[in-house]
A and B are shown apart, each in its own frame.
Chain A
Amino acid sequence: MHNMKKIVIKAKNLTKRFGEIVAINDISFVVRQGETVALLGGNGAGKTTTISILLGLLTPTSGTLSVLGADMSRKRHQVLPRMNFSSPYVDLPKRLTARENLMVYAKLYGIVRPSRQISILAEDLEIETFLDRPFGELSSGQKTRVSLAKSLLNDPALLLLDEPTASLDPDTADWVRSYLEEFQNRTGATIVLASHNMSEVERLCNYVLMMKGGRIFDHDSPDGLLKKYGRINLEDVFLDIARGKSNALTETNGD
């Protein structure tokens, strides 16, 4: 990750403790403009905690975090209008229609012509036919697309995605990945995604932060990790790390 592109995220020695539990432990990493970076790791590795801290939804116990040039401990509201996120585990209000949900969030993000922006996204994401149905009545795939529309309302410079294709059928998951690729090519946005899906990471990401036990265990491009571990796919690398069979690097930070 050493190049001349602008730094979008700079995390230094981030730690989050919940009482005795250390959710993330002294992690450091840098993400540059236009990159798609994966947070990869098993359950409890610290991926969601890291994303929550990046969004400002959770305060770190120690360490510093700068996002889009703003210190997130004091000036996160300066950059929140340029960020957005989507997660299948954080719902939108079920009783509001998809359109009503998008309208509320468009106004929260200060979109000047919200109806127009919703129409554009509805066409792009093919959600027009169920735009006026309650969010709670939509299928998983439809909900994912509406949540994705919500996360793109403000054309974010930084998009955070927590398992963007979880519980989707292969066809819909492929569609979502293609759309994200197209979005990034068009806008040059930076994307950070947490995922369990290795083929998704190999396809979308140009850098991977492997997390284990709240630490960044290893980091490299997908190809770099494959070479380092002598494997042909990331799933095997993931299993090597998860099962402690790593014969590559020792624990390291991503900076």
Chain B
Amino acid sequence: MDISYSPRFSIHRVWAMVLRYFYLLRGSIPRIVELAYWPTMQMLIWGFMSEFLMNHSEWFVKAGGILIGAVLLWDIMFRSNIGVSLSFLEEMWSRNLGHLFASPLRPYEWALSLLVISALRTLIGILPAALLAIPLYHYSIFQMGLPLIAFFVNLLVFGAAIGLAVSGLVLRCGLGAESLAWAVIFAVAPFSGIYYPIETLPDWVQPIAYALPSSHVFEGMRAVTLEHIFLIDRFIWAVVLNVFYLALGLSVFLIAFKGARHRGQLLQMGE
């Protein structure tokens, strides 16, 4: 029997977990359809809303498609968050944690696999909606060019960081807290300036908004769409804040995992 040495970090173990979630996704057509369904519905609603507003507002004529761009970017963050949380919950529902952590898998390898599968799920969910917006509303999010990649990565990471923290809370509190997986992300939505500039918010709220990477991304998105400029300072702020939030999310997750080992929850948690 050939068994490789068990290093502190193994990309093969991360890949094994990605494969586990890929098998789950591949085995269910409804799951794949569902991934693309909600972003497409959102895009359709905001697409028609944009057309209506363009007929009644000069600003919207100039801003053409900004709402569709905003909703697609918001969905990147939302899908990334849900991608981490649901993949995590899948292990709780299937009572698989005992097998996983009796194996050489390390918790941070699992966390990394959750980020990878979340990115894949996000792409599967968003791409059809983004492509459909081109013939339907003559709006292509891809016109943003390279800044789109910067926005995508930042929102993906922020959504995943929240997902990791929420997963840690569910690990701590049990499956009774699973609704947090859907709810927490909406707490940051009003402060992210998805559909409106941050200056719209009351003065005292604006510092809270600027403490979130998402607000810098959406401000940057509006600058690219309206003024065709890429605000490098917004990008840097988003990256710095994301490093902080990712470290925080990962810490919450790893501390909760350590606590679960202490309390004996790894063998007991499940539906």
Residues on A lying within 8 angstroms of B by beta carbon are 16, 18, 23, 48-49, 52, 55-59, 77-78, 80-85, 87, 89-97, 100, 103-105, 107-113, 117, 134, 150, 154-155
Contacts and interface: CB of A to CB of B under 8 A. Distances in A.
A109 B261 contact: no
Contacts of A57: 98, 101-102, 261, 264, 266-267
Nearest to B6: A81
B72 to A, nearest CB: 30
Question: Interface size for chain B: under 10, 10 to 19, 20 to 34, or 35 or more residues?
Answer: 35 or more
Contacts of B202: none
B206 interface: no
A167 B260 CA distance: 28
Contacts of A100: 20, 23, 27
B18 to A, nearest CB: 10
A105 B103 contact: yes
Contact of B1 (A92, A94, A150, A155): A155
Nearest to B23: A100
21 contacts: A57-B264, A58-B262, A80-B6, A87-B98, A90-B96, A91-B94, A91-B270, A93-B24, A93-B94, A94-B94, A95-B24, A95-B27, A96-B24, A96-B27, A104-B19, A104-B20, A105-B16, A107-B13, A107-B15, A108-B103, A112-B2
Interface of A is mostly: mixed
Ranked 9 nearest A-B pairs via Cβ: A107-B16, A110-B4, A90-B98, A112-B2, A155-B1, A108-B103, A100-B23, A104-B20, A93-B94
A108 B267 CA distance: 18
B113 to A, nearest CB: 11
Nearest to B8: A77
A110 B23 contact: no
Interface of B: 1-6, 8, 10, 12-13, 15-17, 19-20, 23-24, 27-28, 90, 94-96, 98-106, 261-264, 266-267, 270
A92 B98 contact: no
Nearest to B264: A58
A109 B98 contact: no
B261 A108 contact: no
Given A18-B263, A58-B266, A107 B23 contact: no
B102 A55 contact: yes
Contacts of A105: 16, 99, 103
Contact of B102 (A16, A80, A110): A80
Nearest to B259: A59
B99 A59 contact: no
A39 B47 CA distance: 65
Contact of A91 (B5, B90, B96, B105): B96
Contacts of B94: 91-95
B95 to A, nearest CB: 5
A48 B267 contact: yes
Nearest to B262: A59
A110 B6 CA distance: 8
Contact of A107 (B12, B98, B264): B12
B95 A91 contact: yes
B102 A83 contact: yes
A77 to B, nearest CB: 6
Contacts of B98: 55, 57, 87, 90
Contacts of B102: 55-57, 80, 83-85
B203 to A, nearest CB: 48
Contacts of B262: 58-59
Given A23-B264, A100-B27, A108-B100, 16 more contacts: A16-B264, A56-B261, A57-B98, A57-B266, A80-B102, A81-B3, A90-B267, A95-B94, A104-B17, A107-B13, A108-B13, A108-B17, A108-B105, A110-B4, A112-B3, A150-B99
Contacts of B99: 85, 90, 92, 105, 150
Given A52-B267, A81-B104, A93-B90, A58 B6 contact: no
Contacts of B264: 16, 18, 23, 49, 52, 57-58
A83 B104 CA distance: 9
A59 B105 CA distance: 17
Nearest to A52: B267
A58 B267 contact: yes
Which one of A52, A103, A113 has the greatest number of beta carbons of chain B within 10 Å? Answer: A52
B3 A110 contact: yes
B103 A80 contact: yes
A111 B2 contact: yes
B3 A93 contact: no
A56 B27 CA distance: 32
B19 A107 contact: yes
Most-contacted residue by chain A among B5, B8, B94, B100 (CB, 10 A): B94
